[in-house]
Structure 1
Amino acid sequence: MSEPALLLVVCGAPLAARVGDGVRAARGRGWDPYVLPTDAALPWLEEQDLSDVPVIVGNRRPSEARRTPTADAVAVVPATFHTVNAWATGNADSYPLTTLCAALGSRTPTVAVPYASQELTNHPAWSASLTVLRRAGIRIVDPQNGSAESLASVPSGTGGRIVKDFDWDWVFERITARPTV
């Protein structure tokens, strides 16, 4: 039997600099990871050695076979303001967003680690979108402390500390438990 497939959606924010660690952590826990970066995440991946993991970019061509197996779980690390709001409203205008919308619709266990500044989290769409995702069974994890109960905005100038202190166990502890709605 093959290892369960983990689709790791990566958005363009400082925490994307740790996706290589997430791939290694996933493999250490028996997952077969696939990285699905948004266009904004690509610059964050350039300095990382991801040569041993499938990195799926862009939409497939009509003649191409499916590029990932059916997901057993999905992790969105980091989940930016744009992605959280587009996902919650069903705006599947990119391969990563289509994957997230399909995972939500199929009730695939999914964990999201939102990463947004106070200026963005004060926008009314932010809390509404998080509420939609939580009610749909998405597990939300604070990137600063791993809390699943609360989520704070990312204070300006703290990205380096958050990236350094982020613990992938926070994500994997939530993936293994199936969401309850």
Structure 2
Amino acid sequence: MTDRTLYIVVCGAPLASRTADGVKAARANGWDPYVIPTEAAMPWLADQDLGDAPVITGNRTPDEPRRTPPPDAIAVVPMTFNTLNAWANGNAHTYPLTTLCAAIGAQTPTVAVPFAKQDLAGHPAWLASLAVLRYAGISVIDPSSGATNSIDPVASGTGAETAERFDWAWVLGVLNSVGNR
């Protein structure tokens, strides 16, 4: 265990297939990872070896103690169209969204990797929600290139290929630079 806690919020898209790689990379970079999946992400995690990283699902009961230490940083990999818009609008109706909304209020360093097809990214809410999150201080990374200045939608039918090329070093590098400001 380390003294740096990283929440990895996972949404249901092909990049979720690389969550185990993210857990390993986080540990190798001195983070203690906790995986917080959306319901749609659960099938993507079923066959992955997450080691001893806790997977936190659902809200806790009133008599249950806190299940995680406070985060030092958060990575949202991947962030789907649905989560992007709900988060930007402040909708905290699931545990992952509550976690993300609280991160903005607490100014927790957060990196998000949007993963949406062209038809969804063509919706006006896509750009508006990205702008809201950036305004709130969220670092946004392109899943294909690691760029932070522009985000391209994932071409339909290329999700698995994009996930394969994805490099967790992009996320951890941004988190390390943002966390040291």
Instruction: Confirm or deny a common fold (TM above 0.5).
Output: yes
Partner of 2:145 in structure 1? 145
Residues 44-90 of structure 1 deviation map (CA, whole Å, 9 limit, x = unaligned): 00110124110001111111111111100000000000000000010
Distance 2:159 2:79 in 1: 14
- Deviation >3 Å, runs of 4+: none
Q: Does 2:135 match 1:135?
A: yes
Contact 2:2–2:31 (CA<8 Å) still a contact in 1?
A: no
Which residues of structure 2 form unaligned runs of 5+? Answer: none
In structure 2, distance between residues paired with 1:151 and 1:8: 20
Matched, 1:107 2:103: no
Matches within 5 A, 1:21-60: 21-60=21-60
Q: Distance in 2 between matches of 1:153 and 1:70?
A: 32
Q: CA deviation at 1:163?
A: 1.2
Equivalent-residue separation in structure 2 for 1:105 and 1:178 (angstroms)? 16
2:85 alignment partner AA: N
Q: Deviations over 1:20-42 (max 9, x none)?
A: 00000000000000000000000
Q: Does 1:170 align with 2:164?
A: no
Q: Offset of 1:3 from its aligned partner?
A: 2.2
Q: How much does 1:2 deviate?
A: 4.0
Normalised by the length of structure 2, the TM-score is 0.96
SS at match of 1:36: strand
* Structure 1, unaligned runs of 5 or more: none
What TM-score does the superposition give when structure 1 sets the normalisation length? 0.96
Q: Partners in 2 of 1:37 and 1:153 — Cα distance? A: 22
| 1:72-117, Cα deviation, whole Å (9 max, x unpaired) | 0000000000000000010000000000000011110000000001
**Contact 2:117/2:154 (<8 A) preserved:** yes
CA displacement at 1:124 relative to structure 2: 0.7
1-structure distance, mates of 2:28, 2:2: 14
Q: Distance in 1 between matches of 2:21 and 2:143?
A: 15
**Paired residue for 2:74?**
74
What one-letter code is carried by the residue in structure 2 that aligns with 1:14? P
Question: Percent identity over the alignment?
Answer: 61
1:86 maps to what in 2?
86
**CA pair 160-2 structure 1, distance change in 2 beyond 3 A:** closer
What amino acid is aligned across from residue 64 of structure 2 in structure 1? E
Cα distance in 2 for partners of 1:117, 1:80 equals: 9
CA contact (8 A) 2:11 2:79 kept: yes
Aligned to 2:10: 10
